[in-house]
Amino acid sequence: MNEPDALRGRILVEESREAVVVLDEQGRVVAASRRARQSIEGVREGERLPDELLAGNAGHVPLVVPYSVRGRQERLVYLSEAGDLAAYEELRSGFTAAVSHELRTPLARLLALLETALLPGEELEPLVDQARREVEQIGELIDEVLFLSELESGTRVVSLGATPILPVLERVAEELEDRAARAGVAVRAVGDSECAVEIRPRMLHVVSSNLAENAVRYAGQGATLVLSVGREDGAVVLSAKDDGGGVDAFELPRLFERFYRADRARASRGTGLGLAIVKHVVTAAGGTVEARGGKGRGLEIRCTFPAR
């Protein structure tokens, strides 16, 4: 195997969303995915994989794929948690139902607009404008569902190099300037220009723009959104903080669920996927997300990344 192929293979293992390890002939770990190292005790490169993991006696179900490389016998081992398949099927079924529900609403409105347009004496131009907005809403939802599917299919999020964060935040603030002004929300970007994160520039832009759009859509007239980046306790923290109406404290953990909207936002034209995508990208990059605030106290979404 030449050097580029070896690097490519290592990246494929490292960035796999599965808990996967590569074992040599002596059962030592040659390579392991980030998920395997972080979630399964006993997975350490250069050391033998514990026998109980291979026997399926440690709460994981092993799938072993033997192969040969230049005469050396190696094994690729997938370690899934018991019940993963059933949980996945339940999640897939729920997601399909949620997408169907979210598509029905704009489609029903579009059908009503078309039926209204057939009535005598109706002004067609405003009805066509409303119908266009409904079609745009449907297109936005489909785009975000496809993007989330792309992420979950294993598209690589982590970069081989570091991406400076502040320039991305400044670009997002500039891109949203007109829309934010129409919503009555002021947006600014501040922070440490030295902070960087090992995440692809496109993905960092997705995270930042989704955070900003969420605030512009829901913070309310007169609010200010601050996109910031800095270091805290050795980690890099990307924050989107507004001083708008906020949400009830009990709703904060649910903001990252697909299609979940706080009561005040249920009539909004958002897709309900923006913060779910943020969580997925940040988690795939080894970080965590957290929502802070409360009713009448604004909202802050914090994305914490390990220092590089």
Mean pLDDT for the chain overall: 78
Q: Which pLDDT belongs to residue 148?
A: 61
Q: Which pLDDT belongs to residue 26?
A: 87
Residue 216 to residue 261: CA distance in whole angstroms: 15
Its pTM stands at 0.54
Q: Which residue has the higher pLDDT, 79 or 262?
A: 79
Q: Which pLDDT belongs to residue 72?
A: 81
Q: Which pLDDT belongs to residue 184?
A: 94
pLDDT band at 264 (very low <50, low <70, confident <90, very high): very low
Indicate whether 154 pLDDT > 70: no
Indicate whether 174 pLDDT > 50: yes
Indicate whether 156 pLDDT > 60: no
Indicate whether 90 pLDDT > 50: no
Q: Which residue has the higher pLDDT, 98 or 226?
A: 226
Indicate whether 274 pLDDT > 90: no
Query: What domains can be seen in the chain, in order of their start residue?
Result: 3-81 (3.30.450.20), 85-152 (1.10.287.130), 163-305 (3.30.565.10)
pLDDT of 198-224, one tens digit each?
A: 887 878 888 898 899 888 988 888 999
DSSP string, 97-138: HHHHHHHHHHHHHHHHHHHHHTSTT--HHHHHHHHHHHHHHH
Indicate whether 6 pLDDT > 70: no
| Contact (CB, 8 A) for 242 and 298 | yes
Q: Which pLDDT belongs to residue 146?
A: 64
Lowest mean pLDDT among 50-64, 211-225, 276-290: 50-64
Q: Which pLDDT belongs to residue 8?
A: 60
Q: Which pLDDT belongs to residue 252?
A: 83
Q: By C-alpha distance, which of 214, 224, 238 is closest to 165?
A: 238
Highest average pLDDT, of 98-102, 129-133, 154-158, 206-210, comes from 206-210
The predicted model gives 104-110 an average pLDDT of 76
Q: Which pLDDT belongs to residue 145?
A: 64
Which H/E stretch holds residue 38?
A: helix 34-39
Q: Which pLDDT belongs to residue 169?
A: 95
pLDDT band at 43 (very low <50, low <70, confident <90, very high): confident
pLDDT of 210-263, one tens digit each?
A: 899 888 988 888 999 999 999 998 899 999 999 998 888 888 888 887 666 554
| Contact (CB, 8 A) for 40 and 177 | no
Q: Which residues of 230-245 are buried (b: 16+ CB within 10 A; e: fewer)?
A: beeeeebbbbbbbbbb
Cβ neighbours of 11 (radius 10 Å):
13
The predicted model gives 31-52 an average pLDDT of 83
Which H/E stretch holds residue 54?
A: helix 51-54
The predicted model gives 8-16 an average pLDDT of 66
Q: Which residue has the higher pLDDT, 228 or 95?
A: 228
